[in-house]
Every structure is written in C-alpha cells, then in structure tokens.
Amino acid sequence: MSSIPSNVSRSPTLLVNQIQLANIQRSSLGLFETQSQLATGRTILRPSDDPVSTAAVAQLDDSIQRTGQRLRNIDQADANLSLIETSLAEANDLLLSAKSVASTQVNIGSTQAERDNQAAVVNSLIDGLLTQMNRKSVDNYLFGGSKTGAPPFETFGAGFVYKGEFDQLTTDINLGRSVPVTLVGIESLSSELNTVKGDVDLSPAITPETLLKDLRSAHGLGITTGPIQMQFENGPIVQIDLTTADTVEDVTTRIASAIEQYETQNGVTILGPGGVGLSSEGFSIDVVPGTAPAADPQLTFTELGAGTTARDLGLTTNTGSSFEATQPDGLGLDPKLTMASSITSLTGLAGALDEIVINNGGRRAQIDLSSAETIEDLKNEIQAADIGARLVINSQGTGIDIVNLVSAAPDQSLTIEEVPGGNRTAELLGIRSLKASTRTDTFNDGRGVSVQSGRTDPVTGLADPALDVDFAITLGDGSSFTVNLRPEDIVTTGDVISRINEEALSQGIPATAFQAGLGDGANGIQFTQDATFTDAITIEKRNNSTAMEELGFSDAAYDAGSATLAGVDPAPVVSNTVFTRLIQLREALTGNDTTGITFAGTKLEDVVDSVAQTRGLVGSYSKRLETARVREEDVNVMEQSFRSELRDLDFAEASTKLSLLQTQLQAGLQSMTIANQLSLLDFLG
C-alpha cells in the first residue's frame, strides 16, 4: 500500500480551485487587454493604465491639435494671399496698359477721335480694376480689411468709394506675429492716404473714465500698474496695490480707501474736504494744512522695489515729491485723445460746435455736430452723412484727421468748409481743408504755386522787380496795386495772404479799403474791399505768371452785397489712388487736354509703384507662411513621434505576448481539469 510523501503539502480542494481560477482569470484578463491593444493599436487603453504617460499624451494631443489648426490657418492664408497676388498682378497689367495709353496719347499729333477711343479703353481698364479689387475668396472679400462681408469698392457719383475698414484680418502662425489674410484696398492702390490733417491739439482733460492705457504718463512712457507705498509725515509706511487698476477712477478709489484706512488705524487726519480727485491732467489730493507755526504735513508716495507706478501716475518724481496743502496736484499725465473722449473734456476746443460742410465726389453734405458728446459721436455723424469721408484720430493722439475715401476727378475731391455765420466749427476742430496753415505745395493736386522770381531785364541783364510781379488787383474805386509773390511767400496759405495784404499797404491801399483773407463759408482766398466802392474787384495776371490761376482766381466770383471777390478752393484733398489717376487720365483724354494727359501719366507712375510695393509685401507674407508651414510640419512630426512612443503599440511584442498568454491560459485550464479529476483514491497506494 503506497503512502503520500511527507514533503508534499496538502491544501483544501476549494483553495486549490480558487488559486487556479484566479490564475485563469489573470490570464484571460491579460489576453483580453492584449487583444484590445492589438485591435486599437494603443498601449494605453485607460488613464489608470499609465497616469504619467496619459498626462503627457494629453498635452501632446492638445499641442498636435493646435498645430493642425495653425497648418489649416496657413493653408487658408496662403490661398487668400495667392488670390490677392493674382489680383494685384492683373491690376498691375491694367496699369501698364494705362501707362502705355498715356505715353502714346501725350503726343500733340493725336486727334480728338483717337483720344476718345483711348478714353474708352481706359474706361474698360477702370471696370477691370474694380472687378479685381472686389475679388472674393470662398467666404470673404480680400481687399476690405476686417470688413469682408460686402464689396470694398462701390460707385460714388462719377468715382468710387472705399467701404472697407483700415485694419486687416490676420491669422495665427505661432511666430510671434500674425500674417494678414486680407488687405486694406484703398491703401493697396495708393502711395498714401490723403487726409485733411487736423492742426488743433484738442488736449483732452483727464476724467474718472479715462483708461490708464490712454495716458502717456508723467514721463511719456505709459502707465505700468503695480503696488506703491504711502506714508504720512513720519508715520508707518503702507502699501496700495494698483496692479489690477484699469481706469483713473480705480486709482482714485483705491488711494482714497487706503488713506481713510490709514487715518482710522493711526488716529490722524490726512484728507481735507476735496479728498482724492483730479486736476486737468493728473491726480489731486487735498491734504489738510498744518497748525501755525508748524509746517504743513506731507503725504508721500514711493515706489515698491524696482516698480515705476508712482512715477508713472505723477504721484512722485525721481527726486521725490509730496502732496501738501499748498501743493495738491500731481504731475500731468498727458491723456491721449480717444474715440471715447468727451467733447466737454477737450480743453483745446475753443468754442461750441455747430455745423460743417463736406464736399466730396460731386456731393455736398451739411453736417450738424452740435449734439455730439464724444469723438465717436463726431465720427458717426460724418459717417452717417455718406459723403465718403471718415474721421480718425491722428497717430500722435492729439487731434483728428478726416480721410478721403472717394476716388474721383481732382476737381471733385474732398473739401471741408464752414457754414456762413456759424461758429467756424471746422476751424475749431482743425479740419477745415483750406486754412492758414495749409501748405501751398498741396495746391492743385500737388503741383503747388509757381511765381516769377529773380527775373532780369533782357536788355540790361539787371534784376528787374517789375518782371517779378505776378498779378495786379484793381479795386472798385479805381485804385490798384501789384502783387509780387516771392518763394518765401508761398509756403502756406497764411503766408500768401500776409504778402498780398503787405503789398496793398506798401502801395498806399489802407486796410479799411482792402483786405485779403479766408472767408466765413466756402473755401478759397477772398479779397474784400470798402463797401462804398461802386465797381467790382478785378484781378489781372502779369508777366505770364500762373500764380493767379493756381491760387484759385481764374474762376473768382464777385459778390456786391459783401463787396468780396471769392476765389475757388485751390487745395481739395485728392485721394491719390489708382482709380483717381485712371479717371483723371480718362477725363484728360476726353477733353483733349495734352497737359492733363502728361500730368495724369506722371501721377500714374506713383500709384503703379505703390501697387508693385504691395505685391512685394504680399510676397513677403507668403514667404513667412512658407517658413511657418515648414516649422509647424516639423513640430507636428516630432510631437506625433513622441506621442507614438508613449501611446502606440509594438505589434511584434504584443503578438508574442498574446501567444504566451494563450499558452498560459491553455495550461491553466488543463491543470485545473486534471486537478478536479483527482480523488482520495489517487493518493492511496
């Protein structure tokens, strides 16, 4: 009879079955996971499989997604820029054709019929250019700036008006700066935007609503917010946190709160009845006076560490300064003019606003500005007049300019005038298009004013002042005088007017009998005589000088009621665009004007160059996109490689593991089957 060896441990059947079942379950679970990995191609099926790798994969997924979006942005931008470049190339071809027309038709041998035919050709070129400038990609117009839902150029009288915006749509390419995907059409077609440049510093006062970013600061470098320190006399020093302050009111509120808390904690009185407020350009703090004979107490602000906030806000200086009863105001912060600036805050505005007149593109609009409360309101009133003019704040942030958006014949270009008998609102705002400061080199579409100067007697060879006379003026009483404009007299409109008045006085014409100046109403230099003179003022050119015509007196009209001879405006603001020059060329051809054809051809050269420069700029954008694409693709490959190493399955390893797990499971099942067939008799000999 055999016996069970003593070295063989004995276990209950239930425990053996549980152990074998657990082994089978582990093998089955491993087999299931391996099969799932093979089916999905992933080593990580759930975050708990590998939390560290899962977190890294999540970050890589996010980065890859953003990279993919940037690549799509680049593709879209590249498609837009390709269309823009194509449009500019075709526009350039049209302009070269126009130049060819101008150069061939400038010959005096061309007939009226030939020029009429060529005018029709130029007209077709204008139509072609309009088509190119209103070109649309899949979902937006390419030359409307940030306004892409409507055609950027529309007909306006006999010309065209730009309806787009002055900022561009851009796309993120992750290179520290963006790339435009649309262009500002009127800038693409011109060498510069022609504007009526305001010559009045409107000097807005600081208000509680003024944003800190709209302050130039006490030293002109802008405001940096942060914590500052405050001390009253020799008391404790406390901090005031201005890090999150956005407006002037935020600063005054926090300083006032800190002072009130300081007073409570230290049992002192700091603020007088004026409290913490504002002067015209900075902060003002009413500090209580001292009791004689003691000196006035001082409230001092200092920087915390390397900060500059207190100095930026004018609360202190590099040498240190304090607020006291006799010195309540901080340094001026020089607020910028913004669209939100209120009319009442403009200290540079010398009177109340009423109406102005804008002429543009053959249209006239009388605009009432009296109800405007902010600069934005002024802009909206002008824009609502639909006169092809737009108000903008100048680059210095001191005044306003009016941009001409209409491309039309020069004699239909932008002028801004006064309403007779009004408050001279255009001059108050500095936007009258003809004013004393207007340079004469802008007259006549940039041709300026030519005068006779330094001429000599053909017989003696000596200088003859009589030959330098440009025109003569005869008054209604028969008296007359001559005007000799020197080069130094034709710098500005004011210089011309001063010289004419000076010539009248020097030749015995009293100021009560004659006065040159700018009228209260329509633009143009005006001559006013004594109302008792019976005849009209007349003007006659001398020595073949063109100054009279170039100053606007060729079509001057005399008004007996006001005893005034009014010249026409010699300085309309011409929009120097391709459309303008093509229209100018067409009109010159139609009018058989050889001089006009020559001038239009010359001006066309400038705008052709500007289109070429725009094409070059678009090319640089395309190059930047190509560089960005290569970079993003390289980054994308690298990130996907890293993610694959962390997440993707090694199929050879997984296949081997699957085979082993299958064998292991089969062995476990067989072992359990054999063990379950054993009985006590199998252990008995």
What are 218-259's pLDDT values in tens digits?
A: 888 899 999 999 999 889 999 999 999 999 999 999 999 999
Residue 3 in this model has a pLDDT that exceeds 70: no
Position with higher pLDDT, 30 vs 558: 558
Backbone angles phi, psi at 210, to 5 degrees: -60, 130
**Residue 343 tokens, joined:** 């009319």
Residue 74 in this model has a pLDDT that exceeds 90: no
What does the pLDDT average to over 527-552? Answer: 94
Residue 4 in this model has a pLDDT that exceeds 50: no
CB 208 within 8 A of CB 252: yes
Residue 185 in this model has a pLDDT that exceeds 80: yes
Confidence of residue 163 (pLDDT cuts 50, 70, 90): very high
pLDDT of the residue at 639? 83
pLDDT of the residue at 1? 41
Highest mean pLDDT (candidates 186-200, 428-442, 604-618): 428-442
pLDDT of the residue at 70? 85
The backbone region for 315, taken as left when phi is positive above 0, alpha when psi lies in -120 to 50, beta otherwise, is alpha
What does the pLDDT average to over 559-575? Answer: 93
Residue 544 in this model has a pLDDT that exceeds 50: yes
Compute the distance between CA of residue 198 and CA of residue 348 in angstroms, rounded to an integer.
12
What does the mean pLDDT of the chain come to? 87
Q: Which of 398, 322, 344, 347 is nearest to 209 (CA)?
A: 344
Domain boundaries, the chain: 1-41+649-685, 60-192+578-635, 212-323, 343-433, 465-566
Q: What is the pTM of this model?
A: 0.81
Residue 403 in this model has a pLDDT that exceeds 50: yes
| SS3 category, 595 | helix
Residue 598 in this model has a pLDDT that exceeds 60: yes
pLDDT of the residue at 660? 78
pLDDT of the residue at 685? 53
Residue 117 in this model has a pLDDT that exceeds 50: yes
**Residue 417 tokens, joined:** 């005038």
Residue 14 in this model has a pLDDT that exceeds 70: no
**Residue 495 tokens, joined:** 């210089």
Percent over 70 (pLDDT), the chain: 90
| SS3 category, 42 | strand
Confidence of residue 682 (pLDDT cuts 50, 70, 90): low
What does the pLDDT average to over 76-98? Answer: 91
Among the ranges given (31-40, 164-173, 325-334, 404-413), the one the predictor scored with the smallest mean pLDDT: 31-40
pLDDT of the residue at 450? 93
Q: Which of 384, 381, 373 is nearest to 341 (CA)?
A: 373
Residue 2 in this model has a pLDDT that exceeds 60: no
Q: Which of 569, 576, 636 is nearest to 607 (CA)?
A: 576
Confidence of residue 291 (pLDDT cuts 50, 70, 90): confident
pLDDT of the residue at 34? 67
**Residue 475 tokens, joined:** 């008054």
pLDDT of the residue at 583? 93
Fold of 60-192+578-635: f41 fragment of flagellin, N-terminal domain (1.20.1330)
350-391 tens-digit pLDDT: 999 999 999 999 999 999 999 999 999 999 999 999 999 999
Spell out the SS3 assignment of 331-400: CCCCECCCCCCEHHHECCCCCCCCEEEEEECCEEEEEECCCCCEHHHHHHHHHHCCCCEEEEECCCCCCE
